[in-house]
Amino acid sequence: MGLKIWLNDGLVEESEAKISVFDHGLLYGDGVFEGIRVYDGKVFELQSHLERLYRSARAIRLSLPVAMETLADQVRQTVGANEINDGYIRLLVTRGTGTLGLNPLVCKQAQVIIIADEIELYPRELYEKGLRVISANTMRNHPLTVSPQIKSLNYLNNILAKLEALDRGMLEAIMYNHMGYVAEATGDNVFLVQNGRLLTPPVEAGSLDGITRQVVIRLARDNGYEVVEQNLTRFNLYDAEEIFLTGTAAEVIGIVEIDGRQVGSGKPGPVTMELLEKFEAYVRS
């Protein structure tokens, strides 16, 4: 038995969950999405994810066919139908079926797809050993192209940077913006620790307004850390006491090497490990 997938107005069997080859989500990456976690059967930060989804949709002039509360209910129904206790939800809204031309206005009906499944996590030992990363040559999308604040179905910019990392035997790459400031990793936000303070780029530097980022900022402040959003350079990363990434799938993960330079002691630092612990406790509280 496959999964039960939400497709527009109801749940269907995975084998029946099909969309048109003329869907502009496929033809042009024209659509928006969210990746959301389920912890102990509860959808984590659903309201924040839905708000981001609707903001992304608004930015690309895509009108969602359902109200936010209805969509929240559909997400929960999909999780329930698949009996997901700890897992991952992929919520997509595509522009819908159109013609081969670019014109989105001919697509009359946006398609809503909700997939709730088990999650593939980084192996536990990576959280103890930390990740090695490189600086990508591929620049993060300029904010006047597709704003990195839009979580769109077109991830080619990130994929090109990810390929650079994979080519060098690493899992992640740091992306910089058109001014040379740190933007984000290919699927995660970036933080560093310097003199006991947490620094992270403002979203205007070219990053997604990560939900995990917001939660970690809150947890850090609640635990007495100063958190400053400011532009960061590659030198700031080389000079950092600790670096870590935040994201829905990765949660909080330490970086121990960047561009061949060891970060801190070469193991995830104490602030990183403390915040990972606090985050893990919070998601199940």
Counting contacts by CB under 6 A, is residue 53 touching ligand PMP?
Answer: no
Q: Which of positions 127-166 make contact with ligand PMP (CB under 6 A)?
A: 158
Counting contacts by CB under 6 A, is residue 56 touching ligand PMP?
Answer: no
Counting contacts by CB under 6 A, is residue 208 touching ligand PMP?
Answer: yes
Least separation in angstroms between CB 71 and ligand PMP = 17
Least separation in angstroms between CB 211 and ligand PMP = 4
Of the pair 97, 212, the CB lying nearest ligand PMP is at: 212
The answer to whether 200 touches 243, Cβ cutoff 8 Å, is no
The answer to whether 93 touches 62, Cβ cutoff 8 Å, is yes
Least separation in angstroms between CB 36 and ligand PMP = 8
Count of residues that bind ligand PMP according to CB under 6 A: 15
Of the pair 94, 158, the CB lying nearest ligand PMP is at: 158
Q: Is 273 left (phi over 0), alpha (psi -120 to 50) or beta?
A: alpha
Least separation in angstroms between CB 100 and ligand PMP = 28
Of the pair 6, 44, the CB lying nearest ligand PMP is at: 44
Q: Which of 285, 254, 283 is nearest to 271 (CA)?
A: 254
* Binding segment (CB under 6 A) for ligand PMP, from list 67-75, 129-137, 211-219, 258-266: 211-219
Least separation in angstroms between CB 15 and ligand PMP = 28
Binding-site string for ligand PMP from residue 177 to residue 196, where x marks contact by CB under 6 A and - marks none: -------x--xxx-------
Of the pair 56, 97, the CB lying nearest ligand PMP is at: 56
**Number of C-beta neighbours around residue 76 at 10 A:** 18
Q: Which of positions 245-274 make contact with ligand PMP (CB under 6 A)?
A: 246-248
Active-site annotation holds for 151: yes
**Number of C-beta neighbours around residue 13 at 10 A:** 11
Counting contacts by CB under 6 A, is residue 211 touching ligand PMP?
Answer: yes
Catalytic option among 108, 151, 162, 278: 151
Of the pair 23, 172, the CB lying nearest ligand PMP is at: 172
Least separation in angstroms between CB 212 and ligand PMP = 3
The residues binding ligand PMP (CB under 6 A) are 35, 158, 184, 187-189, 207-208, 210-213, 246-248
List, by residue number, the catalytic residues: 151
